[in-house]
């Protein structure tokens, strides 16, 4: 990948104190970008800041909650104050959940949508005018779970599917301004220690670490995101299974549903 696609570009990555967001920030820093990292946990954010400073001094950490309007505005304002422009906004912040719809505390949907949908919309709105000036990119990190609603992940699947509608609307609206809008559908990815999800009753639970051959690395996800930006693609679907899922769902949705029903016990075990 040519370095000049990213050198001296200013990139905001939400939810980047760890996980995929951190991997994207590190990858961009290595490509010569000026990166703005974000998270709600100041300790984790500062730790990531120190790691990226070993790569570049052109890094800014903004501790705020992008699921709030004021937090998102603060993120954009501080980026402009520090670097004077925005080339890339990568909406990565999000949270997963577990549980059957019949058992869910209704607040689970609000919690997940606040993070996954509003946490993408709120920073995007104030960033648009700046990205128009650079003819840059706005990228939404979605999931293969958005292709077809998955059992025990209803709020998560629907929130990630909502990002597609937002991205489609934005892509049409901003076509006249030459703003690139990307949507990356991420597959099963390795899980870090202490990563949390929302349980059926609304409480937070820790997910088991996942680092095996079936799970893609965070670095591979970051590579896909940078490729999406570099080639100014719209939708990037990760993994062969994900591409097959997208193909089958578009043509044979009832077949996909039957496959999911047949394997529902596997999903139940996976999400426990």
Nearest-angstrom CA–CA distance, 197 and 212: 20
Q: How far apart are CA 128 and CA 151, in angstroms?
A: 35
Is residue 236 within 8 A of residue 228, CB to CB? The reply is yes
Burial 41-77 (b: 16+ CB within 10 A, else e): eeebbeebbeebeebbebbbbbbbbbbeeebbbbbbe
Q: Report the alpha-carbon angle 104-109-110, nearest 5.
A: 130
Please, are residues 236 and 182 in contact by the beta-carbon 8 Å criterion? yes
Which residue among 88, 122, 140, 156 is the active-site one?
156
Task: State yes or no: is 122 an active-site residue.
Answer: no
End-to-end CA distance of the chain: 38
Residues forming the active site: 156
């Amino acid at each position: 990948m040519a370095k000049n696609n990213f050198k001296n570009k200013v990139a905001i990555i939400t939810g980047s104190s760890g996980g995929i967001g951190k991997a994207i920030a590190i990858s961009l820093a290595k490509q010569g970008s000026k990166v703005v990292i974000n998270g709600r946990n100041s300790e984790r954010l500062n730790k990531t800041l120190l790691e990226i400073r070993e790569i570049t001094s052109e890094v800014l950490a903004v501790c705020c909650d992008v699921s709030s309007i004021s937090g998102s505005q603060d993120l954009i304002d501080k980026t402009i104050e520090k670097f004077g422009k925005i080339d890339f906004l990568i909406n990565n912040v999000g949270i997963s959940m577990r549980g059957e719809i019949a058992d869910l505390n209704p607040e689970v949907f609000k919690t997940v949508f606040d993070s996954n949908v509003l946490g993408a919309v709120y920073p995007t709105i104030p960033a648009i005018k700046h990205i128009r000036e650079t003819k840059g990119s706005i990228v939404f990190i979605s999931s293969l779970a958005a292709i077809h609603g998955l059992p025990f992940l209803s709020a998560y699947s629907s929130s990630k599917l909502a990002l597609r509608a937002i991205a489609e609307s934005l892509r049409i609206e901003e076509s006249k301004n030459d703003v690139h809008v990307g949507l990356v559908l991420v597959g099963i990815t390795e899980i870090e220690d202490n990563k949390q999800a929302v349980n059926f009753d609304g409480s937070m639970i820790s997910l088991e670490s996942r680092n095996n051959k079936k799970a893609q690395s965070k670095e591979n996800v970051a590579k896909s995101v940078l490729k999406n930006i570099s080639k100014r693609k719209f939708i990037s679907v990760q993994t062969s299974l994900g591409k097959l899922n997208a193909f089958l769902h578009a043509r044979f949705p009832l077949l996909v549903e039957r496959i999911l029903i047949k394997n529902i016990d596997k999903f139940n075990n996976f999400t426990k």
